[in-house]
Amino acid sequence: MEKPTYKIVRNLNGDRAVRLENGTTIPAAIARSSCGPNKWLSEIKCKCRDCGEVFLLRDLGETGQRCEFCLHIVATYKWMGDSATATVEND
């Protein structure tokens, strides 16, 4: 199957989705686990919402929004009940 034209769109919460030229909108969480003829959806490159690094959609966690590293930070801070902003240090 030929790869259709698409755009990355965001809803009001900033969650992204893939909009195909026929108007179909596929949430990132679904697009990232696509396989078979739609496998290209999981290989769309997107930036992590927190650190801005570019990843394949399928590497952006369960929701297709953040990389595993940033997800881990969010999870840690939730667990600690700390509302402070996490700083990301690059090595």
- Residue 26 interacting with Zn ion (CB under 5 A): no
- Residue 48 interacting with Zn ion (CB under 5 A): yes
- Residue 50 interacting with Zn ion (CB under 5 A): yes
- Residue 60 interacting with Zn ion (CB under 5 A): no
Structure-block tokens of residue 87: 């700083």
Q: Identify the burial level of 18 via C-beta atoms within 10 angstroms of its C-beta, where 0-12 means exposed, 13-18 middle and 19 or more buried.
A: buried
- Smallest gap from Cβ 66 to Zn ion, in A, equals 5
Structure-block tokens of residue 49: 């919402």
* Site residues (vs Zn ion, CB under 5 A): 48, 50-51, 67, 70
